[in-house]
Structure 1
Amino acid sequence: MLVRDAMSTVVLTIGPTHTLRQAAQLMSARRVGAAVVLDPDTCGLGILTERDILNAVGAGLSPDTETAQRHTTTDVVFAGPRWTLEEAAAAMVHGGFRHLIVQDGGIPAGVVSVRDIARCWAEHGTAGVRIPGRTLTPAGSVPDPTIDRV
C-alpha cells in the first residue's frame, strides 16, 4: 500500500503567530494530530504536533501566549504520495516522529500518521511488511520467536 492510500487529505495549515491554544483547538475540531505551519514572510514550512503542544504545556508554558513558531519543527522529513507505507513507517522510526507531511509537486497534499498506517495495516493486513529490525505478522498468526521483542 502507498502513502496516498493512508494519508489524511485534511491539511490543517496555521500561521507561526497562532497560539498553542488556538492550534490545539483547530486540531481538535478537525480531529488531526498535526498542523502544517506556513510562514508567508519566509515561505517556510514546518509541522506542529500534539506532542509539541503537550511538551510545552507540560513544561509550564502558557498555551495562551506561546506561539506555534516557537514550537514548530522546521527540519521536516517530507513523504511522497507514492512512498510505500513501509518507507513512511521506517522514516518515522528512524526520525522518532509520528507524522509526515506528504508533498506532491512541492505542495502539501496530506499528512500521514502512525495511526493512519496502523489503520491501513489493520484493515488490509500486514503480510510481507518488513521494517528494518521488525517483522509484522497478520493478526492471529504465531509470532516469529527469533525476533527480539521490545
Structure 2
Amino acid sequence: MTAQLIAMLALPGVLSAAGAADLRALLAAQARHDLAWLPARIPGRQAKAHLLAWLLDEPATAGRAEPYVDTATDVLRVLIVRSGGTGSIADRPRLATVPRPLRRTLLALLDRRPVARTVDDMRRHPRAWVAAGEKLHPATHAARYPNAAHAFATIRGGNPNGRASV
C-alpha cells in the first residue's frame, strides 16, 4: 500500500476526482507513527495538498508539513482539500470552517514566508484568498502572525483591520 501511495505522490500532473479520492483513501489507511516513507519532494500540487491536509489533520504529524509548503498557494490548496475539493483552485468548493489550532498552524506557515512573495502568490487568486481569509481570521491574529495579516490586508485592499475597503 505504501508503494502505491508513494507512486501517486510522485505523479506530476493534475489529479482527477477519482485520483484524488484514491489518494485520500491511501492516506487514510496509512499509519502515522512511522513517516520514514515520506518522499523529500512532491511534484504534483494537488497531490501535495492532499498530503499536507493529511499531515496537518493530526497534531502529532503537523510539524512534518512545513518542508512541503513552498508557496502560499500550497496553503490555499490545503483549505480546498479540507473542504472536499481535489486541490484545484479553478474548481474550488465553498471553503469549510477551519478549527482554531489548524487556523493558527496555517497562518504560521504563511507568516514564515517573505511577505512580498506571499502577497504575489495571493494576487494570482484574490477571490480565493479573500474567502480563505474569512475562514482563517488573520486580523484576529495580527500580533502573532504579522506577515500573514499584512498579506491578507493587502489582498483585501490594504485596510489593516482586515475588511475590504469600499
> TM over 0.5: same fold?
no
The structure carrying a bigger helix percent of its residues is: 2
Return the structure number with greater strand share: 1
Q: TM-score, normalised by structure 2?
A: 0.29
Say which one has the larger Rg.
Answer: 1
Larger RCO, structures 1/2 (Cα 8 Å, 6+ apart):
1
TM-score under structure 1 length normalisation: 0.30
